[in-house]
C-alpha cells in the first residue's frame, strides 16, 4: 500500500504546482488594481506608486510568484490587502465553519445514496425506479441558489421551524440539538446534488454487480436476494460510489460559496466572495490554492480507499 501511495504523490505535486501558476497568473488578468481600491479613486500617482511598491506589485509577475511560493513553503500566507489582518488568521476563522458544513453535506449525501440506491434495487419496482430517476434529475438540475431560497422560504418563513441562517451562537459542540437545527438547511442545499450524482452511480453499479456470474451462482444456491445485495453486491459496488464521491468534492467546495452566502454562514466561501469583490489577490489566491489542495488530497485518499477495497489496483492489475 505504501508503494501505491508513493506512486500517486508525484502527480499530486504536479497538479498543485500547475494550479498555483494558473491561479497566480489568472488573478493578475482580472480588471482592476488593488492599489487604486486601497488608496481611493482620488489618490495621486505618487501615492499609488508608493502603495504598489509597498505591496510588491511593481515587481515582475514571475518575481511576485516566486516570492509568494517561497512564503507558502515557510508557512507565511501573507497579509490581506483590503480585508485586513493575517491571511492565516482569516482562513482559520472560517475553516471550521466550512469543514463542518461540507462534512455534514457529504455525510447526508452518502446516507441518502445508500438508502435510496439500495432500496431501489431491492424493490425492483418500475414506479420506484421512475421516482428515483426523477428525484436524481431534480437534485442535479436544480441550481443551489434556487434550492437554498426555496428551503428558506418553506422551513424558515412559511413554516418557521428552522433558522434561516447563521451559525450556532454557543458553538457547534455546546448544544448538538441547536447545531443540527442550524446545519440542516445548508447541509441539504449543499448535499442534494452530490446525493443525486452518487445515487445514480450506486444504482448502476449494483445492477451491474447483480448481473455477474457469482450472483447467479448465489441465486442458484438459494441465497436470498436481500442478502446478495447487502453482503455481496454492495461491497463490490462501493469502490465506484467512492470514486464518484471523490469527484463530487469539487462541486461541494464550489457550491459552498453560494450556500454560505444564502444562509449567511461565515466560512471560507464568504471569505472568497469578499476577496474577489475587493480584488484582494493574496486572500483569493491562497483560498483557491487551498481548495485545489483539498481536492487533490481527497482524490488521493479516495484512490487509497479504492485500492484498499480492490486489491487489483494496489498490485498494479486492471480493474
Angstrom distance (rounded) from CA 20 to CA 67 = 12
Confidence of residue 4 (pLDDT cuts 50, 70, 90): low
Angstrom distance (rounded) from CA 126 to CA 220 = 25
Q: What is the mean pLDDT of residues 194-221?
A: 89
| DSSP states of 103-129 | HHHHHHHHHHHHHHHHHHHHH--HHHH
User: Does 315 score more than 60 pLDDT?
Assistant: no
Contact 151, 262 (CB under 8 A): no
Confidence of residue 318 (pLDDT cuts 50, 70, 90): very low
Cell 517561497 appears where?
A: 70
Q: Pick from 17, 13, 56, 51: which is nearest to 35 by CA?
A: 51
Domain that holds residue 192: 99-271
Q: 10 Å Cβ neighbour count for 157? A: 9
**∠ CA 319-210-304, rounded to 5°:** 35
234 within domain boundaries: yes
Confidence of residue 188 (pLDDT cuts 50, 70, 90): very high
Q: Which residue has the higher pLDDT, 254 or 235?
A: 235
pLDDT digits (tens, 9 = 90+) for 58-80: 788 888 888 888 888 888 888 88
CA-derived radius of gyration, the chain: 24
What residues form DSSP beta bridges with 79? 86
User: Does 314 score more than 60 pLDDT?
Assistant: no
84 within domain boundaries: no
Cell, residue 308: 484498499
pLDDT at 312: 60
**∠ CA 81-82-87, rounded to 5°:** 60
User: Does 264 score more than 70 pLDDT?
Assistant: yes
Cell, residue 235: 461491497
10 within domain boundaries: no
- Is this model's pTM higher than 0.85 or not? no
Contact 107, 252 (CB under 8 A): no
Cell, residue 179: 447545531
Confidence of residue 44 (pLDDT cuts 50, 70, 90): confident
Q: What is the mean pLDDT of residues 17-35?
A: 80
Contact 172, 179 (CB under 8 A): yes
Average pLDDT for the chain: 83
304 within domain boundaries: no
Q: Domain holding 252: CATH number?
A: 1.10.3720
Angstrom distance (rounded) from CA 228 to CA 240 = 18
User: Does 319 score more than 50 pLDDT?
Assistant: no
Q: What is the mean pLDDT of residues 140-161?
A: 88
193 within domain boundaries: yes
Q: How many domains does the chain have?
A: 1
40 within domain boundaries: no
First to last CA, the chain: 16
Identify the weakest region by mean pLDDT among 141-145, 186-190, 202-206.
Answer: 141-145
Q: What is the mean pLDDT of residues 24-48?
A: 74
Angstrom distance (rounded) from CA 17 to CA 289 = 10
User: Does 111 score more than 90 pLDDT?
Assistant: yes
Contact 148, 262 (CB under 8 A): yes
Q: What is the mean pLDDT of residues 162-176?
A: 86
Question: Residues for the chain: how many in total?
Answer: 319
Q: What is the mean pLDDT of residues 4-31?
A: 82
pLDDT at 153: 92
What residues form DSSP beta bridges with 186? none
Angstrom distance (rounded) from CA 109 to CA 259 = 16
Contact 224, 142 (CB under 8 A): no
pLDDT at 115: 92
Amino acid at each position: 500500500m505504501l508503494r501505491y501511495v508513493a506512486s500517486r504523490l508525484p502527480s499530486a505535486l504536479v497538479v498543485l504546482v500547475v494550479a498555483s501558476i494558473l491561479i497566480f497568473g489568472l488573478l493578475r488578468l482580472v480588471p482592476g488594481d488593488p492599489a487604486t481600491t486601497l488608496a481611493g479613486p482620488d489618490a495621486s500617482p505618487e501615492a499609488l506608486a508608493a502603495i504598489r511598491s509597498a505591496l510588491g506589485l511593481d515587481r515582475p509577475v514571475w518575481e511576485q510568484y516566486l516570492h509568494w511560493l517561497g512564503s507558502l513553503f515557510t508557512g507565511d500566507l501573507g497579509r490581506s490587502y483590503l480585508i485586513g489582518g493575517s491571511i492565516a488568521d482569516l482562513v482559520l476563522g472560517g475553516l471550521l465553519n466550512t469543514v463542518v458544513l461540507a462534512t455534514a453535506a457529504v455525510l447526508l449525501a452518502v446516507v441518502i445514496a445508500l438508502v435510496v440506491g439500495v432500496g431501489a434495487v431491492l424493490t425492483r419496482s418500475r414506479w420506484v425506479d421512475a421516482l428515483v430517476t426523477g428525484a436524481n434529475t431534480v437534485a442535479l438540475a436544480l441550481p443551489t441558489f434556487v434550492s437554498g431560497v426555496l428551503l428558506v422560504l418553506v422551513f424558515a418563513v412559511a413554516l418557521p421551524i428552522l433558522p434561516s441562517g447563521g451559525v450556532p451562537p454557543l458553538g457547534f459542540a455546546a448544544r448538538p440539538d441547536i447545531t443540527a437545527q442550524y446545519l440542516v438547511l445548508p447541509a441539504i442545499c449543499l448535499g442534494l446534488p452530490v446525493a443525486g450524482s452518487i445515487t445514480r452511480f450506486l444504482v448502476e453499479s449494483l445492477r451491474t454487480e447483480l448481473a455477474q456470474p457469482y450472483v447467479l451462482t448465489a441465486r442458484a444456491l438459494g441465497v436470498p436476494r436481500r442478502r446478495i445485495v447487502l453482503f455481496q453486491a454492495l461491497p463490490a459496488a462501493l469502490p465506484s460510489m467512492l470514486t464518484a464521491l471523490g469527484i463530487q468534492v469539487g462541486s461541494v467546495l464550489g457550491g459552498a460559496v453560494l450556500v454560505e452566502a444564502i444562509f449567511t454562514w461565515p466560512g471560507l466561501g464568504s471569505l472568497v466572495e469578499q476577496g474577489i469583490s475587493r480584488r484582494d489577490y493574496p486572500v483569493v489566491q491562497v483560498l483557491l490554492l487551498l481548495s485545489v489542495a483539498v481536492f487533490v488530497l481527497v482524490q488521493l485518499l479516495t484512490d487509497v480507499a479504492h485500492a484498499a477495497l480492490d486489491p487489483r489496483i494496489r498490485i498494479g492489475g486492471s480493474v
